[in-house]
Amino acid sequence: MTTVETRALVDIPDDLLPRILLPPLEVLPDARARGAECVWGGEPLSTATAVDLGERETDSGHWFPRACRPCTRRVVLAARNDHSGRCEQCTDDATICETRRALHVLVLELRR
């Protein structure tokens, strides 16, 4: 089966990946751990819609989690809100914080 890709894949910058908190690998069903299903919601993923969450290290080895867009957007949004509360730069002047801007751009990208 071939699917025509109509949307650009969302590419999460490496330095933002650690800010995206994942459920612990030990509690996940096999399909979510393998990246066949969304790591948060368990929705089936296709190459055209899946968001790559990078390579993660765990005690049991390397892990390549993937997720659907709505779940990723929710988590990135939470990361952005959480960031604002603890970043000195954001308390001072949020408009010049690179991290906040990068998270915000990612939220917008995931809305498409």
Residues at the contact surface with Zn ion, assessed by CB under 5 A: 38, 40-41, 43, 68, 71, 87, 89-90, 97, 99-100
Cα–Cα distance measured from residue 84 to residue 82, given in angstroms and rounded to the nearest whole number: 6
Q: Give the three-class secondary structure for 103.
A: helix
- The smaller minimum CB distance to Zn ion, of residues 3 and 74, is found at 74
The answer to whether the CB of 39 falls within 8 A of the CB of 65 is yes
Q: How much helix, strand and coil, in percent to the nearest 5, is found in the chain? A: 50, 10, 40
- Work out how close the CB of 96 gets to Zn ion at its nearest, in angstroms, rounded to a whole number: 9
- The smaller minimum CB distance to Zn ion, of residues 89 and 104, is found at 89
How many C-beta atoms lie closer than 10 Å to residue 14's C-beta? 9
- The smaller minimum CB distance to Zn ion, of residues 33 and 61, is found at 33
- Work out how close the CB of 26 gets to Zn ion at its nearest, in angstroms, rounded to a whole number: 19
- Work out how close the CB of 44 gets to Zn ion at its nearest, in angstroms, rounded to a whole number: 10
